[in-house]
Structure 1
Amino acid sequence: MAQNTLEKTSVTMLGLGAMGAALARTWLAAGHPLTVWNRTPARAAALAAEGARVADSAAEAVAANTLVVVCLLDDTSVGKVVAGADLADKDLVNLTTSTPDQARARAEWARERGARYLDGGIMAVPPMIGTPEAGGYVFYSGSRTVFERHQDTLGVPAGTTYVGEDAGFAALHDVALLSAMYGMFAGVAHAFALVRREDIDPAALAPLLADWLVAMVPAVHQTADQLRSGDYTRDVVSTLAMQVAGTPTLLSTAEGQGVSTELLSPYLDLMRRRLAEGGGEENLTGVIDLLVR
């Protein structure tokens, strides 16, 4: 259904956990007719007071609209919840957290049942939904037709970024970014651990640490450029050889501060391995090739 100022796309929402409820409320607030279903009826009842139609079953909710959005606990839950529904000619948008392989298998599962499939990876927490200035968005992959048909509707709760027709790409982008986030958190944890027993206010270190991390962000783009070109020595300022030479100071300082190096040592070990293979004139990009099996 084309969306315009007079008639907005009707949406079915399966799953009303914290994220599903946030999505549902945003569509309701924007004037989209909404049918909801949740395994725990009380959560659906709360949305009924805000204008949602509550279906008695997932199958009934699926039957109500062409656009069906699913946000459940895991991939197994999706299969169980939607198993009894008629998916023929439905646009199924799966926002359940999954792996790339699960998303690809689910896309084939949907195709066999006559549905058009779009997978999503949500880069936001529930409070960011419906708040454009918060910067949340959703990666989408799979059917380009479904994405283009419903982009305006899908963009109501959060921004949209389409990353390709391979249904697994949204999940892959999601996990790639989350993995980088946890790597950053590991470095932050080590940094705070180093000063934990000293007369240093963590609140005073925090802005210095945050600014330093921001200053290092351009390295992400340099890494991408080097991977694309295959030249890991392009525009290198601090060579791997120089950086490895400095690692004993990092390890000795941690030891002196009584801090475990378990978050730091694996990466330093990879740096030394790459150096031993002859990558001394590179920067850190070559470490990536050691990780790809």
Structure 2
Amino acid sequence: MTSNTAGRTSITVLGLGNLGQALAAAFLSEGHPTTVWNRSPHKAEQLVARGATLAATPADAVGASDIVVVTVLDYDTVREVLRPAAGALAGRTVVNLTTGTPGAARDLGAWTADQGAAYVDGAVYAVPQTIGTPAAFVLYSGDEAAYREHRPTLDLLGEGTFVGPAPALSSVYDTALLSGMYGMFAGFFQAVALAGTEGIEAAAVTSPLVRWLTAAADALPAFAEEIDRGEYTTATSNLEINAVGLRNILATTQEQGLSTDLLAPLQRLFDDQVDSGHASSSLSRTIESLRAGR
């Protein structure tokens, strides 16, 4: 494989959106021979000025390096980019950092293996500006041997964690973490809208909200232990108390002229558990109503 005299692993980055540019810049900063490709070549100009090589085609880009990092719009685009380069993939490691679904990751992992390449799927938790800093982290799954071999290089992007050998696992983690994030955003939007009905500015309610959410997050590890054990006994805030509390919130939301669309589904889950005889159980038992819908 290609490497420079200092023994730096050669890397190709396919896709030069904001994230792809940040990834390539991080590799260049550590002296790695870096080849880049993008459908719009002008996006490579700053990277080329820093020493990157611009490839004319995806096949040329793939053939130039040990590691092929892909960060494009979606998995359909990944396939469109990699298929013409299939003949150059053998013996290389594909690290796909494109957001997608678990099924798409499974299919792409199998296809990549058929081409004789190792496949590592990754989920990046960072904005482009924090790539390469302690604020960034990446969850990887797929070919463990390839990940272990290239971990020192991949850790230049952010702290890496290997979550398992199935290519789909990082995508499942990603979907789970992003679901939690969007749930938090939904609660924020609800809070701001409700406060605004009485003329309270968003900034004014956000300060105590962040303080409260930070404290509330401390309950999550205990909830996780209860869920993993399947034991939901509690002496504190049980489902009945929370069902009554949420019903009051929904009533207030209606009184203030707002939609209850965001929180009403959660009320149904609480009520389902209470009606099933679990009023005194921990709030974490709500997950059993979600699981019943699988």
TM-score, normalised to structure 1, is 0.94
CA distance in 1, matches of 2:273, 2:3: 54
Q: Which amino acid is 1:70 matched to? A: V
Once residues 3 and 212 of structure 2 are traced to their aligned partners in structure 1, the CA distance between those partners, rounded to angstroms, is 45
Instruction: Provide Cα deviations, 1:15-57, integer angstroms capped at 9, x if missing partner.
Output: 1111101100111111111011111111123321110011111
What SS does the aligned partner of 1:122 have? strand
> Can you give the 5+ residue segments of structure 2 that lack an aligned partner in the other structure?
none
* Deviation of the 1:268 alpha carbon: 0.8
1:151 maps onto 2:161 in alignment: no
CA positional deviation for 1:211: 0.7
- Residues in 2 aligned to 1:236 and 1:146: alpha-carbon distance in whole angstroms: 48
Counterpart amino acid of residue 74 in structure 1: D
2:92 is matched with which residue?
90
CA contact (8 A) 1:2 1:149 kept: no
Gap change, CA 1:3 and 1:47, over 3 Å in 2: closer
Contact 2:9–2:66, Cα closer than 8 Å, also in 1: no
Residues 249 and 113 of structure 1, relative CA distance in 2, 3 Å threshold: same
Question: How far apart, CA to CA, are the structure 1 residues paired with 2:224 and 2:247?
Answer: 28
C-alpha separation in 2, matches of 1:4 and 1:57: 22
Q: What is the rounded CA distance, in whole Å, between the counterparts of 1:92 and 1:153 in structure 2?
A: 13
- Give the deviation of 1:2 after TM superposition: 12
Q: Is the 8 A contact 2:11 2:32 kept in 1?
A: yes
What are the superposed Cα offsets for residues 170-203 of structure 1, whole Å, 9 maximum, x if unpaired? 1111110110011011111111111103243432
Q: TM-score, normalised by structure 2?
A: 0.94
Runs of 4+ more than 4 Å apart: 1-5
Cα distance, 1:81 vs structure 2: 0.8
SS in 2 for 1:138: strand
Aligned partner of residue 13 in structure 2, secondary structure: strand
Task: Give ranges in structure 1 of 5+ residues lacking alignment.
Answer: none
1:39 corresponding residue in structure 2: 39
| Equivalent-residue separation in structure 1 for 2:275 and 2:14 (angstroms) | 53
2-structure distance, mates of 1:149, 1:255 = 57
Native 8 Å contact 2:62 2:68 kept in 1: yes
Corresponding residue for 1:212? Answer: 212
Matched residue type, 1:287:
T
SS in 1 for 2:283: coil
Per the TM alignment, residue 236 of structure 1 is displaced from its structure 2 partner at its CA by: 4.2
Mapping of 1:233-252 within 5 angstroms?
Answer: 233=233, 235-252=234-251
Aligned to 2:139: 139
> Could you say what secondary structure the match of 2:284 adopts?
coil
Distance 2:266 2:22 in 1: 38
- Indicate the SS of the match to 2:191: helix
Aligned-partner residue type, residue 104 of structure 2: Q
SS of the residue aligned with 1:84? helix
Aligned length: 290
Whichever residue aligns with residue 50 of structure 2, its letter is: E
The alpha carbon displacement at 1:3 in A equals 9.8
Identity %: 42
1:123 maps to which residue?
125
Q: What secondary structure, in the 3-state scheme, does the structure 2 residue paired with 1:213 have?
A: helix
Aligned residues of 1:2 and 1:8 also touching (Cα < 8 A): no
Q: Which residue pairs with 1:113 in the alignment?
A: 115
Give yes or no for the alignment of 1:271 onto 2:270: yes
The 5-angstrom pairing of residues 140-289 of structure 1 reads: 140-233=140-233, 235-289=234-288
RMSD: 1.9
Alpha-carbon deviations, 1:222-261, whole Å to 9, x = none?
121011111011x441111122123332122112222211
When structure 1 is superposed on structure 2, of 168-177 and 120-129 the one drifting more is: 120-129
Q: How far, CA to CA, are the matches of 2:193 and 2:247 in structure 1?
A: 18
Per-residue CA distance 1:91-133 (angstroms, 9 max, x = gap): 111111111111111110011110111000111121221333x
Q: Structure 1: which amino acid aligns with 2:119?
A: Y
220-229 vs 5-14, greater mean Cα deviation: 5-14
